[in-house]
Chains A and B, each alone.
Chain A
Amino acid sequence: MLNRTLAPASKQVNDINFIAPTKQQLDNGIPVFTVNVGQQELVRIEFIFENVNYDQNKPLQAVTVNSLINNGTKTLSAKEIAEKIDYYGAFLQTEYGADQTTITLFSLNKHLPAVLPIVQSILNESVFPQQELDIFIQNQKQKLQVNLQKNDFIARKTFANAIFGDTAYGSDISLADYDALKREDLLAYFKAAYKPANCTIIAAGKFEAKEFDLLNQFFGKEWENNHTSKINQSTYAPIVGGEIYIEKADAVQSAIRMGNLSINRKHPDFPALQIVNCLLGGYFGSRLMANIREDKGYTYGIGSGIASLKNAGYFFIATEVGTTVCVNALQEIEKEINILKTELVGEEELDLVRNFMLGSMLGSLENAFSHADKFKNIYFSGLDYDYYSKYIDTVKTINAEELKSIANSYLDWDAMTRVVVGKK
C-alpha cells in the first residue's frame, strides 16, 4: 500500500553548470561574447551601450533616443524599418535600463543577412524625425497620465526619487519633461552614445563562425558616431528614513513600497543578503507571504528584493493591501524584519531556503539566452564566474548566526523610506 504521507527521497542540487561565453572581437574592437548552444536555428543578438552624459535637466534624453532609434534613418522610414523587420519574422526590441541601453535583435538564422543591414542603419544613421518625436511625446504623455492613476506606479517613482534624488536612478518624470524634449538633444545623445567604443555585443543561440563573419561585416568597420562621452557615475548617501504618505481618497487598496540604499553585487556580503531577502520576501513561501497573504489574507502578493545597480544598490519591499488593513500590514512587516534581526532562523526553514535557491539557480539556466543573461549580471558588475561559485557556496554553508548578523547590518526599519499611496 502506497504511503502518501511520506515524501519521496530527494537530493540537493549539486552540479550547476554555467556556460561561459566565448570572447571575440570585431575588427573595430567591439567585444562580442557568444553563447553558442541550442538546437533551434535562431539567435538573439544584443547591442549594449553604456548610458552616458547624464543631464538632470534632460532626464528623458537617453530613454527617448532608445525608444525612437528605430523610427527613421537616412535611408529608411519608421514604417519601412518595421515592415522589413516584421517581414523576416524578426523582433527588434529597445530597452532602456538604469545603467545600460540595449537594442536586441531576435531572428531566425536564415534571415540574418537580411535583417542585420537594417540594424546597421539604425545604429549608424538614425535621424529622429520631428514628426515621430511629436507623436512619441503625445502618446507617452497620455500613457503617463494613465500610470499616474495607479497607486503602485506612484509608489515606485516616489520611492526611487526619495532615495536617489534627481539622478538617472531616481528622476521623477513629469508631463513637462516630455514637453521639454528637443530633437537636437536626441541627435547629440545618439552621436555620443551609439559608437563602437561604448558598445558590447552579446550573442546567444546558434551563433557560429558564419554568423560572426556577418556581424563583423556589418558592424566591424568604423561607425558614423564618434562624439565624446562620459559614462554615468554617481554616488549616493543614505537619507533619513520615514513615511511618505500620499492620500488617494477613492482608493480600495494602498500601494506600499519601502526600503533603503544597500549594497550591490560587488560587495562580498551580497550573496548572504540575498539569502536574508529570500527568507523575508524573496519567494512564495517567504515570511512576508506566509504571514501577510497566507495567514492574514491582507494582500494578493507581497515581496522583497535587492536591486544591484552599477553605482548603488537598494533593498525594497512592495505590496498592495486593502485600505482597512494597511496599518496592520505595516506593523506585520516591521515585526517580520525585527524577528530576522533578533531570532535565529531554524534549521528546517534554512534547509528549505538553501534547496529552493539552488533549484531556482539551476532552473534559471534553461537555454542559451539565460546563460547569456547570467553572464551579463557579472560582466556589467565587473565580476567573473567566481561570483557564482561564491554565491552557491554561501547558500550551501551559511549558518543562522551569520544570517542574523547580516540582517542586523542591512535591515533597519527606521532607516527605511516607507511610501504609502492610497488610504490607511
Chain B
Amino acid sequence: MVDFNRFKLSNGLKVLVHEDPTTPMAVLNVLYDVGARDEEHNKTGFAHLFEHLMFGGSINIPSYDEPLQRVGGENNAFTSNDITNYYITLPATNIETAFWLESDRMLSLAFSEKSLDTQRNVVMEEFKQRYLNQPYGDVWLKLRPLAYKTHPYQWATIGQDLAQIENAKMEDVKAFFKKHYNPQNAILVVGGNVKTEEVKKLAEKWFEPIPAGEKYSRSLPKELPQTEARTLTVNANVPLNAIYIAFKMPTRTDSTYQTYDLMSDILSQGQSSRLYNSLLKEQQLFSEINAYLSSSLDEGLFVVEGKLINGVDMDVAEKAIWEELYKLTTDLVSDDELTKVKNKSESIMVFAEMNLLDKAMNLAYYELLGDAAALNTEIDKYLAVTAAQIKEVATTTFVKEKSSILYYLANA
C-alpha cells in the first residue's frame, strides 16, 4: 500500500505526497506528459535531446547538477515514447534545494548555445553506443516503422537517424519548451521523510508563481487497423539469426491490459514459462526467447523475440512460436498456471514497495493514467483475470494478418 496526499496548485500543477518516515531520504519526481510520440516526423529524437538540455542550466541557476551534488543529492531522467520523467534523491533535510532547482527549470531554461552544441554530440554518441555499435542494436529502429505506419510510435525515442539530432536548432528547443514544459502538463511527486504540510508550503513557494502556460492538447495521427502480414528481412554482421514478431494490442488504460500482461508472463516469465520450456529446453530451437508488452499509452505492441540456435531453419523456428501462440487461442490456461502468474505479479508489486524512488515514479505514472489511487488497486485487476479472458485476447491478437515480423539474419 502506497499512501499519498494530493493537491493542485492554481497554475494547474498536480502535487502528490507520499510520507515515508522510515527513510532519512526524500525523492522529488516530476513527470512531464510529453514523449517521442509528440514529436514532428522530421524532428524525431527531440523529446529525448530536450531531456539532456534540461540539465544545461536554467534561467536563474547556471548549473543544475552542481548545487544538487553540493547538498548530497543525485538525479537522473528518462524519456520514453510517452513521457519524460525527472527525479532527484537527496537527504530529506535538504529537500528545499530540490524544489528550488526543479521549479527554476520549469519556469525557464537558460537556452545556452554551448549546452545545445555539447548535448547534440552527447546524444549522437549515445545513439552510436546503444543503437549502432551493438549487435542487434538497431532492431527497434527497424521494427517500429514496420509495425506503425501513421502513428508516431513508428520512431524510437533516440530518433530516426543521427542527422535529425545534428540539425536541432535553438528555436526548436524554445518552441518545444513553451509547448510542453509548463505546470499544467506536469505531475510532481514528493516522497520520503517529508510532511504534506511542509511540501505544500514549498510547492506554493517555488512552483505556484510559475505561469500556467498554454494547455497542450494532443491530437496524434491514429494508426489504421492492420489487415495484412508485414515482414522485413535484414542482414547484418551478427553471429545468430533472430526473429521479432510484433502484434498490435490495446492501450495501457484498456481493461484488458492486465490480461495481456499475464499472458506474456505465461509465455515467458521465468524458467517455468511456456516458451522457455518448449522452445528453448525441449525443442532447442532458440538460445534466448522472450515475450513482452510495450505498455504504451496509445495502441501498443505485444512482442515475441528469439535468437535461433545455429543451424536451425527460420521457418521451423517461426512455426514453433506460432504453435505456442495458437495454443493460447484454443486451450484454456490451467488454474495452476494462472495462479502462478498472478502470485508472481503480487510478489513483484510488494517488492516494489521496498524502494522509495519506485514508489514515487509509480504514483506519478498512475496519476497520469488517471488516478494515482489505482496503483493500490492494480493487483486486484490482475487477480480478477480469468482463463477465458486470456483465450479471448489471444484469439483477437495472434493473427498472422495483424503481425509485423522482422527477420534479423546473420551475414553468411
A residues contacting B by CB (< 8 A) are 2, 4-5, 7-13, 15, 38-42, 70, 78-79, 81-83, 85-91, 106-108, 135, 138-139, 142-143, 145-146, 148-151, 250-253, 283-285, 293-300, 320-322, 351-353, 355-356, 358-360, 362-363, 365-369
Q: Give every chain B residue within 8 A of A355 (Cβ-Cβ).
A: 69-72
Chain B residue, CB-CB nearest to A38 = B354
- Asked if A86 meets B269 with Cβ closer than 8 Å, knowing A2-B205, A145-B239, A284-B69, the reply is yes
Chain A residue, CB-CB nearest to B72 = A359
Q: Give every chain B residue within 8 A of A88 (Cβ-Cβ).
A: 343
Q: Give every chain A residue within 8 A of B121 (Cβ-Cβ).
A: 296-298
Interface: B61 (CB within 8 A) = yes
> Does the CB pair B96–A8 fall under 8 Å?
yes
A87-B340, A89-B345 known, 6 other contacts, Cβ within 8 Å:
A146-B135, A252-B128, A253-B133, A284-B69, A285-B65, A352-B70
Q: Give every chain B residue within 8 A of A365 (Cβ-Cβ).
A: 24
> Does the CB pair A40–B71 fall under 8 Å?
no
CB distance from A424 to the nearest CB of B (A): 14
> Does the CB pair B70–A366 fall under 8 Å?
no
Bound CA–CA A362/B72 (angstroms) = 9
> Does the CB pair A300–B287 fall under 8 Å?
no
Q: Give every chain B residue within 8 A of A283 (Cβ-Cβ).
A: 69, 74
> Does the CB pair B25–A366 fall under 8 Å?
yes
Bound CA–CA A299/B96 (angstroms) = 32
> Does the CB pair B70–A10 fall under 8 Å?
yes
Q: Give every chain A residue within 8 A of B378 (Cβ-Cβ).
A: none
Bound CA–CA A39/B107 (angstroms) = 39
Interface: B12 (CB within 8 A) = no
- Asked if A83 meets B356 with Cβ closer than 8 Å, knowing A2-B209, A138-B287, the reply is no
> Does the CB pair A142–B122 fall under 8 Å?
no
Q: Give every chain B residue within 8 A of A359 (Cβ-Cβ).
A: 71-74, 90-91, 94
CB distance from A229 to the nearest CB of B (A): 28
Interface: B18 (CB within 8 A) = no
> Does the CB pair A135–B280 fall under 8 Å?
yes
A-B contact pairs, 27 of them (CB 8 A): A4-B103, A5-B60, A7-B100, A10-B93, A11-B71, A41-B350, A85-B270, A85-B272, A86-B270, A89-B347, A135-B281, A142-B240, A142-B307, A143-B288, A150-B134, A251-B133, A252-B132, A253-B132, A296-B118, A297-B120, A297-B121, A300-B130, A322-B124, A356-B70, A356-B72, A362-B72, A363-B91
Q: Give every chain A residue within 8 A of B65 (Cβ-Cβ).
A: 284-285
> Does the CB pair A142–B310 fall under 8 Å?
yes
CB distance from A79 to the nearest CB of B (A): 6
- Asked if A8 meets B100 with Cβ closer than 8 Å, knowing A138-B284, A253-B128, A297-B120, the reply is yes
Q: Give every chain A residue within 8 A of B125 (Cβ-Cβ).
A: 253, 297-300, 320-322
- Asked if A285 meets B66 with Cβ closer than 8 Å, knowing A138-B284, A251-B133, the reply is yes
Bound CA–CA A39/B20 (angstroms) = 11
Bound CA–CA A10/B353 (angstroms) = 29
Interface: B271 (CB within 8 A) = yes
Interface: B376 (CB within 8 A) = no
Chain A residue, CB-CB nearest to B117 = A297
Interface: B5 (CB within 8 A) = no
Bound CA–CA A106/B209 (angstroms) = 47
**Residue from A10, A284, A285, A369 within 8 A of B94 (CB atoms):** A10
- Asked if A149 meets B135 with Cβ closer than 8 Å, knowing A86-B344, A284-B69, A363-B25, the reply is yes
- Asked if A108 meets B355 with Cβ closer than 8 Å, knowing A4-B107, A145-B240, A352-B69, the reply is no
Q: Give every chain B residue within 8 A of A351 (Cβ-Cβ).
A: 70
Bound CA–CA A397/B124 (angstroms) = 41
Pick the most buried of B65, B130, B132, B346: most chain A CB atoms within 10 A of its CB: B65
Bound CA–CA A59/B71 (angstroms) = 46
> Does the CB pair B74–A149 fall under 8 Å?
no
**Residue from B25, B93, B287 within 8 A of A143 (CB atoms):** B287
Q: Give every chain A residue within 8 A of B117 (Cβ-Cβ).
A: 297
- Asked if A299 meets B97 with Cβ closer than 8 Å, knowing A10-B71, A320-B133, the reply is no
B residues contacting A by CB (< 8 A) are 22-25, 59-61, 65-67, 69-74, 89-91, 93-94, 96-97, 99-100, 103-104, 107, 117-126, 128-130, 132-136, 205-206, 209, 237-240, 269-272, 277, 280-281, 284, 287-288, 307, 309-310, 336, 339-341, 343-348, 350-351, 353-356
Q: Give every chain B residue within 8 A of A90 (Cβ-Cβ).
A: 347
Q: Give every chain A residue within 8 A of B340 (Cβ-Cβ).
A: 83, 86-87
- Asked if A108 meets B350 with Cβ closer than 8 Å, knowing A351-B70, A355-B69, the reply is yes
Q: Give every chain B residue within 8 A of A11 (Cβ-Cβ).
A: 71, 91, 93-94
Q: Give every chain B residue within 8 A of A89 (Cβ-Cβ).
A: 343-348
CB distance from A355 to the nearest CB of B (A): 5
Bound CA–CA A356/B73 (angstroms) = 6
- Asked if A356 meets B347 with Cβ closer than 8 Å, knowing A79-B277, A363-B89, the reply is no
Q: Give every chain B residue within 8 A of A300 (Cβ-Cβ).
A: 122-123, 125-126, 129-130
Chain B residue, CB-CB nearest to A205 = B354
- Asked if A108 meets B94 with Cβ closer than 8 Å, knowing A2-B209, A297-B122, A352-B69, the reply is no
> Does the CB pair A10–B97 fall under 8 Å?
yes
> Does the CB pair A293–B122 fall under 8 Å?
yes
- Asked if A142 meets B309 with Cβ closer than 8 Å, knowing A7-B97, A149-B237, A362-B91, the reply is yes
Pick the most buried of A11, A86, A87, A367: most chain B CB atoms within 10 A of its CB: A86
> Does the CB pair B240–A146 fall under 8 Å?
yes
> Does the CB pair A149–B284 fall under 8 Å?
no
A-B pairs with lowest CB-CB distance, top 5: A359-B72, A297-B121, A89-B347, A89-B343, A82-B271
CB distance from A279 to the nearest CB of B (A): 12
> Does the CB pair A146–B69 fall under 8 Å?
no
- Asked if A360 meets B288 with Cβ closer than 8 Å, knowing A297-B117, A367-B354, the reply is no
CB distance from A293 to the nearest CB of B (A): 6
CB distance from A314 to the nearest CB of B (A): 24
Q: Give every chain B residue within 8 A of A85 (Cβ-Cβ).
A: 270, 272
> Does the CB pair B350–A40 fall under 8 Å?
yes
- Asked if A4 meets B61 with Cβ closer than 8 Å, knowing A297-B125, A355-B70, the reply is yes
> Does the CB pair B74–A135 fall under 8 Å?
no
> Does the CB pair A149–B238 fall under 8 Å?
yes
Q: Give every chain B residue within 8 A of A39 (Cβ-Cβ).
A: 22
Bound CA–CA A81/B276 (angstroms) = 14
Bound CA–CA A294/B74 (angstroms) = 17
**Residue from A106, A252, A295, A321 within 8 A of B351 (CB atoms):** A106
Chain A residue, CB-CB nearest to B276 = A82
Bound CA–CA A17/B346 (angstroms) = 31
**Residue from A5, A107, A285, A295 within 8 A of B61 (CB atoms):** A5
Bound CA–CA A296/B117 (angstroms) = 9
Q: Give every chain B residue within 8 A of A321 (Cβ-Cβ).
A: 125
CB distance from A318 to the nearest CB of B (A): 12
Chain B residue, CB-CB nearest to A283 = B69
Q: Give every chain A residue within 8 A of B71 (Cβ-Cβ).
A: 10-11, 355, 359
Bound CA–CA A252/B237 (angstroms) = 14
Pick the most buried of A321, A360, A363: most chain B CB atoms within 10 A of its CB: A363
CB distance from B96 to the nearest CB of A (A): 4
> Does the CB pair B353–A40 fall under 8 Å?
yes
Bound CA–CA A56/B343 (angstroms) = 43
